[in-house]
Structure 1
Amino acid sequence: MTTRVKVCGLTRPEDIDAAVRCGADAIGLVFYEPSPRWVTIKQAIALAERVPAFVTLTGLFVNADVRFIETVLAQVPLDLLQFHGDESPNFCASFGRRWIKAVRVREEGQIEQAFGDYRKASGLLVDAWDPERYGGTGQSFNWTLIPEHRPMPLILAGGLSSANVARAIEEVRPWAVDVSGGVEQSKGKKDATKLSDFMKEVHRVCKTD
């Protein structure tokens, strides 16, 4: 099975172009101001224009106000919503768009619980736990906490780079992987070579599967 790739936290047009050129399946824009990868609505509109057909444009929100999300949706052509905070299942499903829920993993059984609670999601993203940050930690977590039984697509995030993504795919068998810091030259600025190397590793391991 081909593992899909989402590149998250893009802030520059040239990084969108590089991710698309390398074969990214999805692009993630961060609408969370405390993040160093945050983009304004004005920036997002310009970035969205670089995203071609068949590449999923994803908007990441963290405990955002309903009105703010609706304002973004009215101006930015998002294909998918990603909720990375403490949002309830009903909240996530209230915008009439496909959505995924992120879970910051720190204990056994947490992912199984999330599969049940967020069963209407289009996928579950599993990321590393940090008490102060909602994603973008650059840290991985204990992959043995991920169950074999997955009633929906599982997206693996957390500390991925070209150095470990092949092993991650072999061990976890995720539907998709999500990368941000592992392909950056600095926070919010992607590195075209690191992006290319990451994608090559994904393609390599998928071909030999």
Structure 2
Amino acid sequence: MKVKICGIRTVEAAQHAVRCGTDALGFVFAESKRQVTAFEAKQIIDALPEHVWKTGVFVNEDAAKIKKIAETAGLTHIQLHGDEVTDDYRSIGLPLIKAISVKSTEDLEKLEFIKADYILLDSPPAEYRGGNGLSFEWDLAKVIEKSDTKVILAGGLDAGNVSKAIAKVNPLMVDVSSGVETNGEKDLAKIKAFINNAKNEREEV
């Protein structure tokens, strides 16, 4: 089971997550309490090993601006968390993750029409597009069991429920942000527990 820790803002949290076995880190460039600048992300990314995904999270941002940020920061993947049409972002030249808010099976039936390298299933937006600590009804994802879609599961995950979520959805990767925080800051113990529980779940299956 692959794991992504999103909303990274410090070298300490990033390196700790890597030591614990994370496969990907997320840097939020959209409006959010976890927002970072390209320069801030670069300082963290420069301290990370090559194999870890460095994912930039954007909401309805211009493709040319995303490409400039990606080059400055050293991003390896782009996550589109708004109403984007992915074809408009292929010029960036990096793998695309398209986030989908799941409220019903109808939302999941649209997946076959979305051209992206990965699909991120998230809960419906609240104050921000993602990172709200809310989950959707995981049983809805059963409609994609026979799909070839590379699914990343997000929305309300934490160390206590990630095993159940993996068992129900069987994603390629799980993505967490607020679920590994205490008082709005990344909690190193929670990061370790989340990664351990996610990795162990796949081994048990």
Does TM, scored on the shorter chain, surpass 0.5?
yes
CA displacement at 1:160 relative to structure 2:
0.3
CA displacement at 1:71 relative to structure 2:
1.9
Matches within 5 A, 1:187-198: 187=184, 189-198=185-194
In the superposition, the TM-score normalised over structure 2's length comes to: 0.94
Amino acid of the residue matched to residue 44 of structure 2? L
Q: Are 1:201 and 2:197 matched, yes or no?
A: yes
Which residue pairs with 2:158 in the alignment? 161
Amino acid of the residue matched to residue 4 of structure 2? K
Matches within 5 A, 1:57-72: 57-72=54-69
Provide the C-alpha distance between the structure 2 equivalents of 1:169 and 1:74, rounded to a whole number of angstroms. Answer: 33
Q: What secondary structure, in the 3-state scheme, does the structure 1 residue paired with 2:105 have? A: coil
Q: 8 Å contact 2:3–2:175 — kept in the other structure? A: yes
CA displacement at 1:109 relative to structure 2:
2.0
Greater shift in the superposed pair: 90-99 or 56-65: 90-99
Which residue pairs with 1:133 in the alignment? 128
CA displacement at 1:118 relative to structure 2:
1.7
Which residue pairs with 2:108 in the alignment? 111
Unaligned ranges ≥5, structure 2 = none
Deviations 1:143-202 (A, max 9, x none): 122122222211100000001001111111111100000001232x21110011111111
Q: What secondary structure, in the 3-state scheme, does the structure 2 residue paired with 1:207 have? A: helix
CA displacement at 1:131 relative to structure 2:
5.0
Q: 8 Å contact 1:83–1:92 — kept in the other structure? A: no
Which residue pairs with 2:119 in the alignment? 124
Which residue pairs with 1:13 in the alignment? 11
CA displacement at 1:25 relative to structure 2:
0.2
Q: 8 Å contact 1:89–1:117 — kept in the other structure? A: no
Provide the C-alpha distance between the structure 2 equivalents of 1:132 and 1:103, rounded to a whole number of angstroms. Answer: 16
Q: 1:100 aligns with which of 97, 100, 111?
A: 97
Change (3 A) 1:16 1:166: same
CA displacement at 1:53 relative to structure 2:
1.9
Provide the C-alpha distance between the structure 2 equivalents of 1:124 and 1:140, rounded to a whole number of angstroms. Answer: 16
Poorly superposed stretches of 4+, deviation over 6 Å:
none
Q: 8 Å contact 1:57–1:79 — kept in the other structure? A: yes
Q: Percent identity?
A: 38
CA displacement at 1:132 relative to structure 2:
4.2
Provide the C-alpha distance between the structure 2 equivalents of 1:93 and 1:67, rounded to a whole number of angstroms. Answer: 11
Unaligned ranges ≥5, structure 1 = none
Q: 8 Å contact 2:70–2:76 — kept in the other structure? A: no
Q: 8 Å contact 2:4–2:174 — kept in the other structure? A: yes
Amino acid of the residue matched to residue 204 of structure 1? N
Provide the C-alpha distance between the structure 1 equivalents of 2:82 and 2:13, rounded to a whole number of angstroms. Answer: 25
Provide the C-alpha distance between the structure 2 equivalents of 1:91 and 1:124, rounded to a whole number of angstroms. Answer: 16
Amino acid of the residue matched to residue 134 of structure 2? Q
- Number of residues of Structure 1 aligned to a counterpart in Structure 2: 203
Provide the C-alpha distance between the structure 2 equivalents of 1:59 and 1:130, rounded to a whole number of angstroms. Answer: 18
CA displacement at 1:55 relative to structure 2:
0.7
Change (3 A) 1:207 1:131: closer
Provide the C-alpha distance between the structure 2 equivalents of 1:90 and 1:47, rounded to a whole number of angstroms. Answer: 29
Matches within 5 A, 1:86-97: 86-97=83-94
